[in-house]
Amino acid sequence: MKGFSRREFLKASGSAIALPLSTSLTLKGCSFDQEMLTIAYGANLTSWDPTTGLSSLNPQIQSLYKAVFDSFIGQSPDRSLRPGILIDWGWNDDRSKIQMTVRRDAFWHDGLPVTADDVVWSLERAGNSVNGNPMHFIWSKITNFSVSGNTVTADVSEYDPTIFKWMVHLTGYILPKHAYTALGADAWEQTPIGSGPYIVDKYEQNNSVLLRAFPQYWGPKPQFETVLIKMIPDAQARVEALEAGKCDLAVGLSFSEFNRVTSKTSWTGNAYPVTDVGLIFLTNKDALMKDRNIRLAMHHAIDKQKLIDELMLGYGRPMDSLQVPGYDAYDPSVGFGRPMDSFQVPLFDAYDPSIKTDFDPYRARNYLSKSGYSKSKPVKLTIQTTQGYRPKDYEMVKMITEMWQEVGIEANIQIHADKEHLRLRARHELAPAAFFNWSNSTGDPFMSTGLAMLSNSPDSTFKSAELDRLIMPLMNEADERKRIRGYQKIDRYIADEGLIIPLVQFFQTVAHSRDIEFTPHSSGEVLPQEIRSL
């Protein structure tokens, strides 16, 4: 079999509480500062280890991690892979080994060089389940490392077409062996050391982090010497911070506030589609969600376009599978969806526009009647949601429960924090229905359909032996076209059985001063190192 080079790989490939706007860190005045950038961010950072624990799976804080740490492989705004700490990577001829070349010009924030041994240690640590990496079952496939100069080779216990994509995705970060082992996990949280463009200068948990540019960074130098990131979970409080001149850029505004703020002369912004899907996880621990009739009734009762039109002011796209349609690079002969007019970038690889779960209340009532339910004898269940984690998340769930009530489903709404959702999901303790966000910056179908539905994944909620039977062979499938088609068939099965309820493709809203230039990322990441002043 022909070798699989890097070039070929690239080609193939609780309720939110408003925090006070003040912070004990030094703030600038209302005028724009060319040396300091202030960002109002919606998510709280609870750990400075981007490779362990549930926080490592939170897509909303990856922007902070990527300001301080390097991924093994980098990623461009359009989702394409680019050199990171690794400048080259690929498979051997029979795909039993991988080879990685480590750059020689990278340094840790304490001044020591990044080495091939750091890469090996980071990968070995990630693959050891005792270290708490939730994706250890992926990393553990890489074994028997050897180092020669700046080249690392390793065996792969079973071929996995996603291994290099994981190196740019969740938990795919390199940490310094010398510093982490000397400090230990607890002390690390106070003095994290990365090789990224910024150094952590001061950190106050659930409040703010002050970053300072790292002069020895190997990549393009950040324009702003210091960056203050304020963690403000309440979206309206972020708007107030922006309009009061206490930040230069605010992430995740409500769509109405985004329209209002960016209509003013002082502010501009971007609202763009990202690789995030708003969906309802279904948990089949109890008999209720094991009933296909109930699941499909829940699907058909939801008017997704109404959610987008009335709550998101058109900033969204209805979804019927876990695959987001392609943009610039979509291939109509493969059956991808039509490209959108704005922010044309390639996204998920396995999108199939034929998968539809249409809004049909009549059909929903028929499904319920087959199981003995009606408006006079409704299904009763609990649905959980965050409030403010994504714009209009609670309002969306409330509107959905009203739609359900019209066909014979009474749902009690429980509000919890995003961290609580992740904890309950990992322990398989979510309510029968739970609204949340699914993010997949790689666009690979395993990172969406595979991780969300495979029983041994920490992210799955509907445990199905049949799904496992369908997914497992694709995890080692070397024929890329066959693998993609396989996931499309699985998406069809999921839709036919109603095993999860995809709702909308999210748009990210970012409002900022007209004095700065912001580059959108299809992943939704807001990277301070890529923001420029005008």
- Which residues lie below 8 Å from residue 424, measured CB to CB, with a gap of 6+? 384, 416, 430, 434
pLDDT band at 492 (very low <50, low <70, confident <90, very high): confident
Distance CA 506, CA 504 (A): 6
Identify the pLDDT of residue 488: 85
Classify residue 21 by its DSSP letter: S
- Provide, rounded to the nearest whole percent, the portion of the chain with pLDDT above 90: 69
Q: Pairing relation of β-strands 316-318 and 500-513?
A: antiparallel
Compute the average pLDDT of residues 97-115.
Answer: 98
Range list of H helices, 102-143: 116-127, 136-139
Note the pLDDT of residue 522.
86
Structure confidence at residue 352 as a pLDDT band (50, 70, 90): low
The pLDDT assigned to 332 comes to: 31
Strands 379-385 and 433-439: parallel
User: pLDDT confidence of 179, banded at 50, 70, 90?
Assistant: very high
d(CA 453, CA 467): 7
To the question of pTM greater than 0.85 for the whole model, the response is no
- For the chain, domains (ranges, CATH) are 6-13+17-194+515-533 (3.90.76.10), 273-508 (3.10.105.10)
Q: Is the pLDDT of residue 329 over 70?
A: no
Phi/psi for 437 (5° steps) reads: -105, 140
- What SS3 class is residue 439? strand
Task: Give pLDDT, residue 349.
Answer: 56
- Residue with the bigger pLDDT between 92 and 334: it is 92
| Token pair for 223 | 């324009």
Question: Which contacts qualify for 309-312: CB closer than 8 Å, 24 or more apart?
Answer: 310/399, 311/255, 311/392, 311/395, 311/396, 311/399, 312/255, 312/391, 312/392, 312/504, 312/507
The single residue listed with the structure tokens 């007019």 is: 341
CA angle 337-340-344, nearest 5°? Answer: 105
How does 46-61 read in b/e, with b if 16+ C-beta sit within 10 Å? ebbbbbbbbbbbbbbb
User: Are 202 and 210 within 8 A, CB to CB?
Assistant: yes
How far apart CA 326 and CA 330 sit, in angstroms, is 5
Lowest mean pLDDT among 222-231, 369-378, 388-397: 388-397
Give the burial string for 159-173 (b: 16+ CB within 10 Å, else e): bbbbbbbbbbbbbbb
Name the residue among 478, 58, 412, 491 with its Cα closest to residue 233: 58
Between residues 301 and 44, the one the model is more confident about: 301
Which 8-state DSSP code applies to residue 528? G
Tens of pLDDT, residue by residue over 438-475, are: 988 888 889 889 999 999 898 999 999 999 999 999 99
Given the structure tokens 């001044």, which residue do they identify? 111
CB of 204 within 8 A of CB of 25? yes
Query: Rounded distance, CA 119 to CA 289, Å?
Result: 44
In whole numbers, what is the pLDDT of the chain averaged over residues? Answer: 87
C-alpha–C-alpha distance, residues 215 and 198, integer Å: 9
Altogether, the residues listed in the chain come to a count of 534
Question: Percent of the chain scored above 70 by pLDDT?
Answer: 87
